[in-house]
Homo-oligomer: A and B are copies of this chain.
């Protein structure tokens, strides 16, 4: 019963016996898995990271330890939920790991049930997050097809201005605003103003930030 389709559990632990045990446990429970003996080994792996899944990290490892690996991954924008396992964890270490966003921190010995439960939870969470991220990326792609002018108009529409006010703001005629506006709706594939505004929210370009509106070198040349 492969209840975890498309998801992959990535294990990083330097202890071969733990590797074997986890491998068997995950295998018999139908999880796709990838096992590494060190942070370095994992970081230099060039297979693309799975869309859904989770990391199971040992805390104590030669080279980069589990928490350092967590920090490094955070820096790189790697987003899978992390579950720590440890033989000699301390309170400060576990607290630090949790503050940095770890999903759980298990001390050996733990029963495999607990670990599997946590892993399932992690995978579900990663699924949810990845679908949100995909949605957001889709929006961003559409946003990128907008020309400079269209982005400005977009911003002012979301701000709640009337076409007339937008025209004044930009020093152009209302007629032109209408043209841009129509194109914004079309390119963003918005069926209503309400939808367009929610898109802006999702893109986190609420009525202020103009930084994101950084435009292509010049207008144009920016479809895809």
Q: List residues of A whose CB falls within 8 A of some B CB.
A: 86, 89-92, 94-95, 98-99, 104-105, 107, 157-161, 191-195, 197-198, 201, 206-207
Contact = CB atoms under 8 A, between A and B. Distances in A.
A161 B191 CA distance: 9
Given A195-B160, A197-B194, A198-B197, A95 B105 contact: yes
A119 to B, nearest CB: 15
Contact of A99 (B104, B157, B160): B104
A160 B191 contact: yes
**Residue of A86, A95, A99, A193 contacting most chain B CB atoms (<10 Å):** A95
A97 to B, nearest CB: 8
A29 B92 CA distance: 25
Contacts of A159: 194
A190 to B, nearest CB: 9
29 contacts: A86-B91, A89-B91, A90-B91, A91-B91, A91-B94, A91-B105, A91-B107, A92-B107, A94-B94, A94-B95, A94-B98, A95-B98, A95-B104, A98-B98, A98-B99, A99-B104, A157-B194, A160-B191, A160-B192, A160-B195, A161-B192, A193-B194, A193-B197, A194-B207, A197-B197, A197-B198, A198-B201, A198-B206, A201-B201
